[in-house]
Amino acid sequence: MRSTQDASRRKAFRELTRPVRGALRLATVLQAVAAVMVLIPFAAVYELAERSMRGSPGNGVWVIVGVAGGAAVAYFLLGGAAVTVSHGADADLSLTLRRRVAAHLRRVPLGWFTAGTSGSVQGALQDDLDEMHYAVAHARLDLVSALVTPLAALVWLFTVSWQLTLVTLIPVAVFVAARRTVMARAGGGSTEVAEAMRAVHASVVEFVQGISVVKMYGRARRAHHRFTDAVDGYHRTFTALNAPVLRLISLSTAVVAPVAVLTVVVVGGTALVATDVITPVKVLPFVLLGLALTAPIQAFGQAGSSLRAAEAAAGRVRDLLATPELAEPAAPREPSGPRVEFDHVTFAHTPGRPVLSEVDAVLEPGTLTALVGPSGAGKSTMAGLVARFFDADSGAVRIGGVDVREIASDVLYRHVGFVFQDAPLLRTTVEDNIRLGRPGASAEEVRAAARAANVEDVLTALPRGLESVVGEDANLSGGEAQRVAIARLLLADPPVLVLDEATAYADPDSEAAVQDALSRLSSGRTVLVVAHRLATVVGADQILVLDGGRITDRGRHDELLARDGTYRRLWRAQGHQENHEVAR
């Protein structure tokens, strides 16, 4: 299962990086050549030393120096070019993926955005792309250097002295053997460690959730002891199971440390010189380059870990891009009026568990229909179907006699406007936020919409008036933000309006202003209101009572109150009496 998941993530990484694959290959070749160039100055030092030991430097000294200098310059130029190309590829990839995600999110159903998905979107656009940065811009180059330089050095050192080469490889052999043992032992006892960690979590939850009761009855010390005992138990379990593995990891790391490798080279070289196997000058390249055989080991670990993290991030970006899109009609139709119909509508967020079942309703033009019912009855879902937040599994939702699935999205959203419990505003000027309803509106039309929404006075009092930026010098309350959203809808002038408890988050001081603005917005439109407070919809032309995903009753307030049904029970539960007078 794990290997399948890893393979899927690697595939996702390859697919996402395909547009910059050519640039990455070029960067790889440049870095590989640079990795060989870096060895030439060391070889030149050995050649000069050997000539000096023979007492005949010869006329080629300056040629050797020139080659070494040229190789050093080539190393810096090629390495710099490789980094430049890979960073350019990373920038292009980030821009391409951000554009792909943004374009894709424009085509997914609006209901997807109401399911707490902001975290995954932010993660994909920022965190996951940042996670992929090192893998694209650096990891490939680091891996090439870590592979090519030691192999090239090994080949050259083998021509100098195969005996000392084998001695120099002893730390590498010990490291590999130790790591194989670590991998074989890794994961052992994971069940015991997990159980101990669960005990810690349980004690933390118990202590935090019950802190008031614990302190009230003087049991804080006892609860604290339970927590510390659980932590100590986890420490003992983790240490007992992992101490041997940690010792092996420490050993394997120590044997490839520079001082350890240098010690092996010096001791081994001295022994070979003492036995006349090699001459003293042949030890020099091993002292200079012996570390090149082991130093990249750490780079392998870091680059490998970063690649795995990048592959996981690529998998998440791919999953986001795989979010089903809203199907656009092949032959779009225009609604012929604001009449809304629900025709035997059934819908389920999860297959087999319908939220709405066989819902039938008609919303006549110019009327206000209220949706009421207990929590979880499907009110917001039913309202969302009008704006095509979701598509019905069976049946149809029609506007002006046309199935909403046959209406192009841009046309649908010109016909349907909605006000949610909260009113999200963009981080731009207040004027631009209102003008979203009709981008071509004049400044006077924007002000007129703000005036009709009872928010003009609030906005003109801001430091820069309507030019103030939301979140900077325009810090609006919930009720004020709601009225800005209403002004936006007034400017858009949609014939069908969906209100999902629009005053739920309004502060008491501005609730009346919001209600007044909503009254102006609703005038002459087909309005569907999701209501939790029944007193706000007693004047509705039609009240639909939802319970268990079905419409169990419908009528006006007085008619429903006269029946002994769900509406009457909800009315009583909210502290009202049957003869309670409410202004309409």
Q: Domains in the chain and their CATH numbers?
A: 1-161+285-326 (1.20.1560.10), 189-277 (no CATH), 340-573 (3.40.50.300)
429 forms bridges with which residues in the sheet?
469
Six-digit token pair at 49? 């030393």
For residues 492 and 416, give the distance between their C-alpha atoms in angstroms, rounded to a whole number. Answer: 10
Per-residue pLDDT of the chain (584 residues; tens, 9 = 90+): 556 776 887 788 888 888 898 999 999 999 999 999 988 888 888 888 877 777 666 667 888 888 889 999 999 999 999 999 999 998 998 888 888 888 887 788 777 776 555 556 666 666 777 778 877 888 888 888 888 888 888 888 888 889 988 988 888 888 777 767 766 655 544 556 566 666 666 666 655 555 444 444 444 455 556 667 777 776 666 666 656 666 666 776 777 777 788 888 889 888 988 988 888 888 888 888 777 777 666 666 667 677 777 878 888 888 888 888 888 888 999 999 899 999 999 999 888 788 999 999 999 998 889 999 998 888 888 998 998 888 899 999 999 999 999 999 889 988 998 887 777 788 899 999 999 888 888 999 999 988 888 888 889 999 999 999 988 888 888 788 888 888 888 888 899 988 887 655 555 565 666 667 767 777 778 989 888 888 878 888 999 999 989 999 999 999 999 888 889 888 888 876 655 444 33
The residue among 503, 492, 504, 487 whose CA lies nearest residue 430 is: 487
Say how many C-beta atoms besides its own lie within 10 A of residue 61's C-beta.
Answer: 14
285 forms bridges with which residues in the sheet?
none
For residues 441 and 333, give the distance between their C-alpha atoms in angstroms, rounded to a whole number. Answer: 26
Q: Is the pTM of this model over 0.95?
A: no
Query: Cβ(42)–Cβ(288) under 8 Å?
Result: yes
Element (H, E) at 221: helix 220-255
Q: How far is Cα of residue 318 from the mean position of the Cα atoms in its chain?
A: 11
For residues 198 and 308, give the distance between their C-alpha atoms in angstroms, rounded to a whole number. Answer: 27
**AA identity, residue 581:** E
For residues 102 and 120, give the distance between their C-alpha atoms in angstroms, rounded to a whole number. Answer: 13
Say how many C-beta atoms besides its own lie within 10 A of residue 268's C-beta.
Answer: 20
SS3 content of the chain, % helix, strand, coil (to 5): 65, 10, 25
Cβ neighbors of 218 (< 8 A, separation 6 or more) are none
For residues 272 and 166, give the distance between their C-alpha atoms in angstroms, rounded to a whole number. Answer: 12
Q: For 324, list phi and psi in degrees, rounded to 5.
A: -55, 135
The residue among 375, 380, 307, 372 whose CA lies nearest residue 347 is: 380
3-state secondary structure 264-306: HHHHHHHHHHHCCCCCHHHHHHHHHHHHHHCCHHHHHHHHHHH
For residues 436 and 488, give the distance between their C-alpha atoms in angstroms, rounded to a whole number. Answer: 7
Confidence at residue 490, expressed as pLDDT on a 0 to 100 scale: 85
**AA identity, residue 185:** R
Confidence at residue 580, expressed as pLDDT on a 0 to 100 scale: 46
Six-digit token pair at 229? 């005992």
The SS3 assignment for 359 reads strand
The SS3 assignment for 532 reads coil
